[in-house]
């Protein structure tokens, strides 16, 4: 590896002078995607056999999860004893869920009639882990229309147009809301320091150093706490409830620590459960938090919610390869937007650093496995260099430590100084591009069920651009929260019937389709115990 | 007594010994040994503060403070996780605060009990100068409190160690929000853009884009000029 680093150092002065290689043409992009992107391997996907989106092609791991047995036999659940009677139930304590709760409250629902239920802690979510930034078209050189074009092109024109319109239109207003909440955006002389992201044609990435996700989410959570919005932690939803007429009516939660279930009746429900990184599609490592296990897709699908664009998966181009202890963790796109170039073993720049994520990832895979120009670690994993020392060369010494502090700290904990040496990276499973199909106000195909954040499908098409997940969860969390509040306010009386018949029916559909599986879902948490432990496990207490 | 080999190390989880492979984080090492976390694992990338871990090395009296997901397990570590901090936080209405130099002290009067022992700083897995920001808060310097605490992930180890029972991380969160709202200027063009959107300046253009066919959009995309 040291020899290869010497070659990187040798080519650095010329690269600093010449700039990056040119961006690919649309034809070149299509070619590298078709040949190298994991999404384009037809044998790794299959059609859903049952449910409202039967016939949709999804990753095999997702199909397995959607076509699995119920976690709990509905006959064991006593629906006559209601533990919580709510106006608005929010499922998921991450970004979208918390935003939805705040806006449902602003729309007139008293805090005590709202409840955020969440699998782990309030704030164990991908929203808090985002590093690079949030897009919003607020500069005079930019416009919502230009933002729209970037999003559609990046998403391969599969995005639902009205959702993209909603997102780009709401963007600047979301940034102002964050200002009111006290989010500390990076500014210079009173102006936002806005940068490019992969696939953007204008600089519209607002950042908070490389802690953007945390710096936005924590004030949002703090505000929810100030407003007194109640939370129920370590209590994932294992099944939605319907009212006997196909409308959302609440949910069943399962306490991870006591094993107890709870019955929640709600006039409106917001699904904000995030994505599926911990399902490890095609065995990729992931940047995602521990609870990202596609639970929301599973429970919504059983309740009759349509899915959209679930065939596409986002692999972030630059996950950590070395040291292997932190394999797959995120190396933010901001490193590239500040000038770091991806390089092969010979120190050659082989790709424009800010292609849309799917294209950039495919180019890195090609460099490692077709052109055989990757760098192999002692653990036998291949990657390419990300020439981080270029950042301080371009922007001045101290830039990395001041503005990319999280990245510097992450590698420094393992004895790697990215101001001096390049980092080794490879694509890592990052984002669920599709999900539960929504309309512009977060409505799903199940009346009374609204969705926002990574669990929704339609906003990002087949490939999300950097900075549109933070924007997306704010825009659609807010819209879903407001729509849920309006829905609840229209219902003057309590829901009379609570039913799990849809879950019973789903089991029957599995049997009718001849699907044989040992899997039960939702998955709730991945299991990383070693094989040697599992082989001898009696499973009494764990 | 260390029993490490070329490929394995011995760690002690709450006193019990386990042999685990070298080169794993503390979190992965515990999972390898058979733990399946509910508490004590969150983002697994160093941003959420769920996996606060206290350890000491065999033969050393000193306690050290790290994140289990960001730290490689070493031979002879005696480990315990502290996944929750019972620290009260104060509710407030940001829009109605008077952001003067006393505001932090009024809401968190216990910061005046700081004895400058620096134990909080030593306990911080993010290497934040915690005591310095508490001192800044005492002086009423909100900007300094906000900037020094910026990297805080609210794991709570500072407050667990503090002999004066200060709730550092809650106070610092409040300071950052006050700074963000009251002391960091709003960029003018943001307000201009919001006014334009409200006036419907972009409505026609966006409505037209929404109706376009894929090939029309492809042409516009191909003709983009990248700033």
pLDDT at position B4 over 90: no
Is B37 among the domain residues? yes
Coil/strand/helix, residue B67: strand
Mean pLDDT for chain A overall = 97
Domain shared by B21 and B75, yes or no: yes
Q: Are residues B125 and B175 in the same domain?
A: yes
CA distance linking residue A393 with residue A386, whole number of Å: 14
| pLDDT tens digit sequence for A508-535 | 999 999 999 999 999 999 999 999 999 9
Count of alpha carbons within 13 Å of A87, Cβ hemisphere only? 26
- Domain count for chain B, please give it: 3
Domain end call among B57, B81, B105: B81
**pLDDT at residue A281 in the model:** 98
- A262-310 pLDDT, tens digit per residue, is 999 999 999 999 999 999 999 999 999 999 999 999 999 999 999 999 9
CA distance B38 to A526: 11
Domain identity same for B31 and B112: no
Q: Which residues of A touch B90 (CB under 8 A)?
A: none
Closest residue by Cα to residue A293 from A275, A308, A311, A315: A275
Partner-chain contact A153 B46, CB within 8 Å: no
> C-alpha angle with apex A213: B24 to A37, nearest 5 degrees?
65
Q: Cβ atoms within 10 A of the Cβ of A363, count?
A: 26
Mean pLDDT of the A100-122 span: 98
Residue A457 has a pLDDT of 98
CATH number at residue B69: 3.10.20.740
pLDDT at B185: 87
Closest CB to B227: pick one of A203, A222, A228: A203
Name the closest residue on chain B to residue A328, using Cα atoms. B45
Within-domain flag for B177: yes
Q: Is residue B99 part of a domain?
A: yes
The answer to whether the CB atoms of A181 and B24 lie below 8 A apart is: no
pLDDT of residue A113: 98
The contacts of residue A189 (CB under 8 Å, 6+ apart) are: none
Q: How do residues A324-363 score in pLDDT, each as one tens digit?
A: 999 999 999 999 999 999 999 999 999 999 999 999 999 9
Residue B175 lies in a domain: yes
Q: Are residues B108 and B156 in the same domain?
A: yes
Same domain, B71 and B24: yes
The number of angstroms, rounded, from the C-alpha of A366 to the middle of its chain's C-alpha atoms is: 25
Is residue B227 assigned to a domain? no
pLDDT, position B5: 77
Is A26 in contact with B222 (Cβ distance < 8 A)?
yes
pLDDT of residue A542: 60
Is residue B130 located within the same domain as residue B72?
no
Binned at pLDDT 50, 70 and 90, residue B186 comes out as: confident
Neighbours of B80 (CB within 10 A): 14
Q: Quick one: chain A helix, strand, coil %, rounded to 5?
A: 40, 20, 45
Q: What is the DSSP letter of A341?
A: P
- Nearest by CB to A190, from B23, B42, B187: name it: B187
What pLDDT score was predicted for residue A539?
Answer: 77
**B3 in any annotated domain:** no
Same domain, B19 and B67: yes
Residue B110 has pLDDT above 50, yes or no: yes
What CA–CA distance (Å, rounded) separates B153 from A450? 30
* pLDDT of residue A540 exceeding 90: no
Based on the domain organization, do B67 and B100 belong to the same domain?
A: no
Q: Which residue of B has its CA nearest to A217?
A: B48
Q: Domain boundary residue among B55, B81, B107?
A: B81
- Interchain CB distance below 8 Å, A141 and B227: yes
Of A144, A203, A525, the CB nearest to B206: A144
- CATH number of the CATH domain containing B172: 1.10.1060.10
Distance CA(A91)–CA(A454), nearest Å, equals 13
Instruction: Please give the residue range of the domain that contains residue B55.
Output: 8-81
**Spatial distance between the Cα atoms of B227 and A168, rounded to a whole number of angstroms:** 18
Contact A451, A272 (CB under 8 A): yes
Q: How far is B208 from chain A (nearest CA, A)?
A: 10
A144, B197 contact by CB (below 8 A): yes
B203 and B126: one domain? no
Question: What pLDDT sits at residue A263?
Answer: 98
Percent of chain B with pLDDT over 70: 98
Question: What are the tens digits of pLDDT across the range A219-276?
Answer: 999 999 999 999 999 999 999 999 999 999 999 999 999 999 999 999 999 999 999 9
Do B55 and B71 belong together in one domain? yes
Q: Are A163 and A190 in contact (CB under 8 A)?
A: no
Same domain, B176 and B131: yes
Average pLDDT over residues A399-404: 96
Kindly report the average pLDDT of chain B as a whole number: 96
Query: What DSSP string runs through A394-432?
Result: HH-TTHHHHHSHHHHHHHHTTT--TTTS-EEEEEEEEEE
Task: Give pLDDT tens digits for A150-188.
Answer: 999 999 999 999 999 999 999 999 999 999 999 999 999
Same domain, B176 and B99: yes
Query: A129 with A287: CB under 8 angstroms?
Result: yes
Q: Which of A93, A142, A135, A139 is nearest to A114 (CA)?
A: A93
Closest approach of chain A CAs to the CA of B76, in angstroms? 18
Does B87 reside within a domain?
Answer: no
User: What are phi and psi for residue A401, nearest 5 degrees?
Assistant: -65, -35
Q: Which residue has the tokens 């650093």?
A: A353
Q: Give A134's contacts (C-beta < 8 A, 6+ positions apart).
A: A174, A175, A205, A206, A207, A212, A216, A467, A470, A471, A474
Res B153 pLDDT > 60: yes
**How far apart are the C-alpha atoms of A295 and A238, rounded to whole Å?**
8
Whole-angstrom distance, CA of residue A482 vs CA of residue A491: 15
| pLDDT surpassing 50 at residue B1 | no
Q: How many CB pairs under 8 A join A and B?
A: 231
**The pLDDT of residue B3 is above 70:** no
Structure tokens that stand for A522 in this block: 């939702």
Residue with tokens 């200027």: B185
Looking at the predicted structure, is the pLDDT value of residue B91 above 70? yes
Residues from chain B that touch A219, judged by Cβ atoms under 8 A, are 173, 176-177, 180
Burial per residue of A298-321, b for 16 or more beta-carbon CB atoms within 10 angstroms, e otherwise = bbbbbbbbbbbbbbbbbbbbbbbb
The answer to whether residue B89 sits within a structural domain is: no
DSSP state of B68: T
């Amino acid at each position: 590896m040291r020899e290869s680093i010497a070659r990187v150092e040798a080519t650095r002065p010329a690269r600093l002078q010449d700039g990056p290689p040119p961006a690919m043409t649309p034809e070149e992009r299509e070619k590298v995607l078709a040949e190298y992107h994991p999404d384009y391997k037809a044998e790794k996907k299959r059609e859903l056999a049952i449910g409202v989106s039967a016939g949709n092609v999804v990753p095999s791991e997702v199909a397995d999860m959607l076509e699995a047995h119920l976690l709990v036999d509905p006959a064991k659940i006593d629906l006559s004893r209601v533990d919580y009677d709510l106006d608005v139930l929010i499922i998921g304590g991450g970004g979208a869920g918390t935003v939805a709760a705040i806006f449902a409250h602003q729309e007139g629902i008293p805090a005590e009639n709202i409840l955020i239920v969440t699998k782990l802690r309030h704030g164990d979510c991908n929203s808090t882990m985002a590093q690079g930034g949030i897009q919003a078209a607020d500069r005079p050189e930019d416009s919502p229309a230009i933002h729209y074009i970037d999003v559609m092109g990046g998403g391969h024109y599969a995005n639902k147009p009205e959702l993209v319109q909603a997102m780009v239109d709401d963007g600047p207003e979301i940034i102002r809301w964050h200002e009111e909440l006290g989010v500390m955006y990076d500014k210079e002389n009173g102006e936002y320091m806005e940068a490019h992201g992969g696939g953007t044609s204008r600089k519209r990435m607002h950042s908070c150093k490389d802690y953007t996700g945390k710096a936005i989410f924590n004030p949002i959570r703090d505000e929810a706490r100030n407003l007194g919005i109640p939370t129920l932690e370590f209590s994932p939803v294992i099944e939605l409830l319907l009212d006997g007429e196909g409308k959302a009516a609440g949910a069943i939660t399962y306490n991870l620590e006591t094993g107890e279930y709870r019955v929640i009746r709600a006039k409106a429900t917001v699904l904000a459960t995030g994505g599926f990184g911990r399902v490890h599609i095609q065995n990729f490592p992931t940047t995602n938090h521990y609870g990202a296990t596609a639970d929301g897709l599973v429970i919504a699908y059983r309740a009759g919610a349509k899915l959209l664009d679930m065939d596409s998966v986002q692999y972030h181009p630059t996950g950590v390869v070395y040291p292997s202890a932190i394999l797959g963790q995120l190396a933010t796109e901001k490193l590239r937007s500040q000038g770091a170039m991806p390089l092969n073993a010979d120190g050659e720049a082989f790709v424009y650093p800010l292609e849309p994520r799917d294209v950039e990832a495919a180019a890195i895979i090609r460099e490692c496995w077709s052109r055989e120009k990757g760098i192999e670690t002692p653990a036998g994993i291949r990657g390419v260099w990300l020439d981080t020392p270029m950042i301080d060369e371009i922007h001045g010494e101290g830039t990395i430590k001041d503005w990319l502090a999280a990245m510097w700290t992450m590698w420094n904990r393992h004895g790697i100084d990215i101001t001096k040496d390049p980092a080794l990276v490879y694509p890592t499973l990052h984002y669920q591009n599709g999900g539960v199909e929504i309309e512009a106000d977060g409505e799903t195909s199940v009346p009374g069920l609204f969705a926002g954040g990574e669990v929704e499908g339609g906003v990002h098409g087949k490939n999300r651009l950097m900075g549109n997940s933070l924007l997306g969860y704010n825009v659609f969390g807010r819209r879903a929260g407001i729509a849920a509040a309006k829905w609840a306010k229209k219902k003057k009386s309590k829901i009379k019937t609570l039913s799990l018949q849809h879950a019973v029916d789903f089991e029957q559909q599995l049997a009718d389709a001849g699907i044989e599986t040992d899997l039960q879902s939702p998955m709730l948490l991945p299991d990383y115990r070693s094989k040697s432990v599992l082989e001898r496990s009696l499973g009494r207490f764990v | 007594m260390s029993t490490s080999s070329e490929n394995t190390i011995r760690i002690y989880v709450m006193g019990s010994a386990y042999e685990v492979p070298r080169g794993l984080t503390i979190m992965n090492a515990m999972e390898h040994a058979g733990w399946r976390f509910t508490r004590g694992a969150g983002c697994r990338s160093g941003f959420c503060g769920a996996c606060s871990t206290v350890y000491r090395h065999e033969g050393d009296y000193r306690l050290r403070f790290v994140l289990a997901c960001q730290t490689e397990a070493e031979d002879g570590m005696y480990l315990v996780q502290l996944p929750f901090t019972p620290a009260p936080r104060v509710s407030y209405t940001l829009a109605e605060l008077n952001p003067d130099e006393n505001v932090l002290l009024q809401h968190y009067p216990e910061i005046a009990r700081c004895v400058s022992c620096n134990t909080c700083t030593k306990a911080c897995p993010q290497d934040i100068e915690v005591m310095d920001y508490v001192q800044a808060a005492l002086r009423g310097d909100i900007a300094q409190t906000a900037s020094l605490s910026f990297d805080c992930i609210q794991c709570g180890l500072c407050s667990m160690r503090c002999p004066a029972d200060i709730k550092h991380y809650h106070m610092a969160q409040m300071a950052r929000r006050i700074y963000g709202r009251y002391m960091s200027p709003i960029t003018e063009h943001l307000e201009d853009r919001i006014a334009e959107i409200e006036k419907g300046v972009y409505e026609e253009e966006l409505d037209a884009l929404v109706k376009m066919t894929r090939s029309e959009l492809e042409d516009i995309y191909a003709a983009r000029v990248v700033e």
